[in-house]
Structure 1
Amino acid sequence: MDSELIDKAIFSKPTNNAVLLALIGLALCYLAFARLRNRNPKTGVNPPPTAPTFQTPLPLPFNDASPTTSAPHPYRPFQHGPNHITMGIRKLDWNDWIEMDANFLPYHATKVAELEKDLPAHVQCADDERTRDACYETLEELVRFLTHRYPKVFWLDGGRLGNEATGEVFSWPAGSPTEALVVAAKLVQDDVILMVERDDGQFHLDAGAVCLPGFWRLREKFGLSLDELHFEAGVPHYEQKLRKSMNRFFKSMTPEKAVTRNNFFIQIDDGLHWSHRMGDQNGDEVASWATADSADLKLEEIYFRSERQTLRRLPRSGALMFTVRTYFEPVTVIAKEPHVPGRLAEAIRQWDETVSVYKGKKHWEHLLLPYLDEQHRLQVENDVLQEHVEREFPY
């Protein structure tokens, strides 16, 4: 349509040059307006790369009788061979966006306790139109998914949203962005983080419902850009190997292309919501392995902490939505699984010095590695490895 208007302006037969110039001027103004109307009128930030008409595919109903009795997925995201520094993303099956299992109720209880103790410490939303809309959209997307994926648990009836597993009933729709995030936190086992693009062209952590972070505080990260988050956290090799690819990937994400990834850490206590050996949850000192207290550490206190992260672009607001689901088990439990102790020990030994410092290796290696080696030796001697096929990554 734009080119057609220009063609008519140039190739018609005007009565004088003034008319010709006027038509050309109108055509150029139309083109400029067409471009400007596709930008956010308040921020100038580009809209999502695809049309806002995209609708998240509805998931298939969960097959099992009750998702709250299903065993958690045994994610074991470590491999044989060299430790390559990559984003490690995989395509997300929309049916598996939000996982629900037998840990739902204890996770929910911990999240509710944290929210009641100090809600502002766990829920934040920047006061701008796009971020507020992203908070509402987050809850809308979650409710649409959950009521179709787990219809025996979640229901929506007029102005009420219910959870049969907990007996909770929420007002629908949410009355404020903060309320939307609080409800979202109570509906899923995941933490939720929203990255919103600002005028500087960077995505910033401008909203979140973070109840189970383990060793970081939302107030320390709130408002930081993607680069600032990674630099502040000291993510290994971010500048050299990840920065350009991550920024490029974030910019190019479209609503229909969601991804997932897994990671893992070793934790030296049993705090799902907060690792107390890393520092005071309510303190001002940034928690890190530099502040960790591993004195008198025992093997039974060492936990395997794994995250399943999903990332998608919300179609209406254009915000990037992260979900972070934590899986948390004693290493003495996962080391009983075939192939796991040997492969985990191998993966840890492949870390370079930068990764080793970032993951606190010096605090626990003297206990964990000999134990894993011994468990691997026993599995070899008892033909466990021959009897069980090793599963593919990330299991």
Structure 2
Amino acid sequence: MTITFRTETFRDDFTFRNSPAGIRRFPFPFHEDGYMYSVNIEPHRPGAPGSVFEHGFDVDEHYVAEMADRALVLAEDPLRCQALPHMDLASWDYLELVMTTKARDYPELFTLETDGDRWHWTNRPLGIDDRFTFGVTSTLPCPPLEYIGRQTQGDHCLLDQRDNNLWMDAGMVTTQADWSLDFDIGMNFFEWHAPVPLAHEMGVFQRAIKFLTSIPQGQPSRRLNWTLTVNPRLDTSPENYPKWGPDKLTVTPDTIGEKMHLRVELQTFWRLPRSNALVFPIRCYLLRFDDLVTIPKWARRMHRVIRDLPPELVTYKGMSRYHPMLVEWLAAHDDGAPTSPGIFPD
């Protein structure tokens, strides 16, 4: 697949757009006409050609623009990338995983040459051509997690596994949906998920931790998560709430189609070989509602899901203020027909 990188912004004038092909490959998260928290984890096997699941790390038309936005976030707040001292080996593990996977899956964009510990990495879209010694941080322009994180879409959490639990002990997080790495770093799996309603009572996280701590090397898994975002803003962190919180006041029946975006996270889980850490990449995709409703199947299902959300999830997803008008707007795009299974267009 030939990728044409788009020139766009995720702040200020918000010029972000999906191409027609980008709309159809969007990972719509609802398999049925309803939604409730579940573990919903499946093997991260190669998917259909052109889909977001085709390769281990998806590279799409927004790659260059997203990396430019990440650089802006890190310049404003360097604490968006942190690693506790014992996570150095895991950081190198992750750098190797990303480089080898991307060089294999996108040889026209990335090249990795190795001679023992002497590595040569080329990233053509970003104009990077670096030689370094694997495992020696001083031979890179910045620490390994930051170096590869500045070249990989989505956020990246490195989870140390101990005491039958997972601990968020390193990460680069600049595209998150209202949570803070600086607050969560050093927390365990149950602590950083504490704000999520209903799932604890249902035992979702108890089942999830049993599964995640048993993921073997070479058998990654994935799941989809979702929320809504006003304007195509990648950085909706608590630290920057004064910038994006007021956006909710701009939602009206006349602006929903342009301003409201379905925000989907493709979350993957990989066991790292040297450190035994679990890496948790969180890739964010955005789709404005005007584009979403061009796919009749998605228009029907989105209406039914939002209409029937439990009140606790309406509040947790941050849509209490505009939920009624959102349901009404979506209802106008629901033709009442049955909806076929699956997440991609028919």
The normalised TM-score by structure 1 is 0.71
What aligned pairs does 1:242-391 form with structure 2 within 5 A after superposition? 242-274=204-236, 279-280=241-242, 294-298=248-252, 299=256, 300-377=258-335, 390=340
Give the conservation status (yes or no) of the 8 Å contact 1:90–1:260.
yes
Give the conservation status (yes or no) of the 8 Å contact 1:277–1:294.
no
Q: CA deviation at 1:217?
A: 1.9
Q: CA deviation at 1:235?
A: 4.2
Q: CA deviation at 1:349?
A: 2.4
Gaps of 5+ in 2: 7-18, 47-53
Give the conservation status (yes or no) of the 8 Å contact 1:189–1:325.
yes
Give the alignment partner of residue 174 of structure 2, picking from 194, 207, 211.
Answer: 211
Structure 2 equivalent of residue 194 of structure 1: 158
Q: CA deviation at 1:143?
A: 0.6
Give the conservation status (yes or no) of the 8 Å contact 1:309–1:322.
yes
Q: Aligned to 1:252, what secondary structure does the other structure show?
A: coil
Give the alignment partner of residue 85 of structure 2, picking from 120, 127, 147.
Answer: 127
Structural RMSD (CA): 2.8
Q: Aligned to 2:96, what secondary structure does the other structure show?
A: helix
Q: CA deviation at 1:365?
A: 1.5
Deviations 1:16-59 (A, max 9, x none): xxxxxxxxxxxxxxxxxxxxxxxxxxxxxxxxxxxxxxxxxxxx
Q: Distance in 1 between matches of 2:192 and 2:246?
A: 21
CA gap 1:236/1:269 in 2 versus in 1, 3 angstroms: farther
Structure 2 equivalent of residue 107 of structure 1: 66
Q: CA deviation at 1:170?
A: 3.4
Deviations 1:115-153 (A, max 9, x none): 22322x21111112xx21101100011111111111111
Q: CA deviation at 1:82?
A: 4.3
Could you tell me which amino acid in structure 1 is paired with residue 193 of structure 2? H
Q: Distance in 1 between matches of 2:344 and 2:312?
A: 23
Deviations 1:209-255 (A, max 9, x none): 11211422210111110000111x33432243213211211222211
Could you tell me which amino acid in structure 2 is paired with residue 270 of structure 1? P
Q: Aligned to 2:202, what secondary structure does the other structure show?
A: helix
Structure 2 equivalent of residue 162 of structure 1: 122
Pick the structure with greater CA Rg. 1
The size of the alignment, in residue pairs, is: 311
Deviations 1:182-226 (A, max 9, x none): 12212221211111023x442110011112114222101111100
CA gap 1:273/1:174 in 2 versus in 1, 3 angstroms: farther
CA gap 1:314/1:67 in 2 versus in 1, 3 angstroms: farther
Give the conservation status (yes or no) of the 8 Å contact 2:303–2:331.
yes
CA gap 1:269/1:67 in 2 versus in 1, 3 angstroms: closer
The structure that is strand-richer by fraction is: 2
Give the conservation status (yes or no) of the 8 Å contact 1:262–1:394.
no
Could you tell me which amino acid in structure 2 is paired with residue 78 of structure 1? F
Could you tell me which amino acid in structure 2 is paired with residue 132 of structure 1? D
Gaps of 5+ in 1: 1-63, 282-286
Q: Distance in 1 between matches of 2:300 and 2:333?
A: 8
The structure that is helix-richer by fraction is: 1
Q: CA deviation at 1:276?
A: 8.7
Query: Equivalent pairs: percent with the same residue?
Result: 21
CA gap 1:165/1:65 in 2 versus in 1, 3 angstroms: same
Deviations 1:251-274 (A, max 9, x none): 222113211111211112331122
Structure 1 equivalent of residue 12 of structure 2: none
Could you tell me which amino acid in structure 1 is paired with residue 230 of structure 2? I
